[in-house]
Amino acid sequence: MKEFELIKHFFTKQTVKRKDVVFGIGDDCAVLAPIENQNLVVTTDTLVAGVHFPFETSPRAIGHKAVAVNLSDIAAMGAKPSWLSLAITLPDIDEAWLLEFSQGVFELCEFYNVELIGGDTTQGPLSITITAQGFTPKDTYLSRSGAKSGDWLYVTGDLGDAALALQQITGKVELQPQYIDTIRNKLDYPRPRVLAGQTIREYASSAIDLSDGLIADLGHLCQASNVGANVVLDALPLSNIMRDSLLAEDAIALALSGGDDYELLFTVSEDNKVGMETAMSHAATSVTCIGQINASQTISTTLNNKPISIKTVGFEHFSE
């Protein structure tokens, strides 16, 4: 099977056919018809085997995660996803692997009405790069740079489960057998908070998605907004599996720095707290207030109402 046969066989047969795609896969470029009075948001993410997912990860999970991490970025802007392009580097052509991988891609695309419009295929070590686009109403979007002193700090969902799964895979922790499948799904099949992002767009002052770990990504938000924050460690949302499997201090460390959560971290003013919490309850998404923004330009943490220093950091692509 050659490159163009591969593309035709695995990536042109998709359920989603959007009206704003004039011409999709099959030419030098896709032709799109953007919506009037909308902002177009664009993101690109690369996943590399052995770095962003274990080598033994199923191809369906790799396809799902490659799409999910990009849609999580779209969600953090408060946008509705629309299109994506896929560049995949493969060691060789394995038709069974490609079939399962493409199923993982299209399952998530169909759920969010996203159309694959093109991309590229090359030979080499396994890596997947996706560029995703989405829309927000004109001049209405979220960013990292809008947090103000006094805003409350919120996060969706639970933290640390994906990192716990990775520790289980690498033999650093042992989990009770009934927990393993549930916790592995948190790592392999993250749920991008697309609806939550569109919901908080009306209330939040800033937002970021959690990919590198809470402390690292909060640092990005604070730097962009020129503010500081205090995180209440007692308030961190931890799943029952985390609480049952780890000592409290180890669970907190994973929640702060584990990464791969793909939840939304966002800030809300005092005036918008009640409205946001009501709207999120209607969107069936749990949110937890974990601290408050301040003017210090540093990140502090408290436990049992007492200051506590932390040494944990998030994921770094290029570390010394």
Domain spans of the chain?
3-137, 152-308
Q: At residue 257, does pLDDT exceed 60?
A: yes
CATH of domain 3-137: 3.30.1330.10
Please say if the pLDDT value at position 10 is more than 90.
Answer: no
Q: Residues 134, 41: contact at Cβ < 8 Å?
A: yes
Average pLDDT estimate for 139-145: 90
CATH superfamily, domain at 152-308 = PurM-like C-terminal domain (3.90.650.10)
Return binding residues for Mg(2+): 28, 43-45, 73, 120, 209, 212
Is pLDDT at 3 greater than 80 in this prediction? no
Return d(Cα 188, Cα 99) in angstroms, integer: 17
List pLDDT tens digits, range 92-116.
Answer: 989 999 999 999 999 999 999 999 9
Residues making up the annotated binding site for ATP are 119-120, 144, 211
**C-alpha dist (Å) from residue 113 to 14, 29, 110, 246, 307:** 11, 21, 5, 39, 46
In this predicted model, what pLDDT tens digit does every residue of 160-176 receive, in sequence order?
999 999 999 999 999 99
Whole-number pLDDT of residue 35? 83
3-137 with 152-308: one CATH topology? no
Closest CA to 223 of 145, 113, 143: 145
Known binding-site residues for substrate equal 52, 260, 315
Asked if residues 133 and 40 have their Cβ atoms less than 8 Å apart, the reply is: yes
Residue 312 has what pLDDT?
63
One-letter amino acid of 212:
D
Q: Cα-Cα-Cα-Cα dihedral of 255, 261, 267, 270, to 10°?
A: -70
- How does strand 228-232 pair with strand 299-303? parallel
Residues placed in the known binding site: 28, 43-45, 52, 73, 119-120, 144, 209, 211-212, 260, 315
Backbone angles phi, psi at 52, to 5 degrees: -100, -15
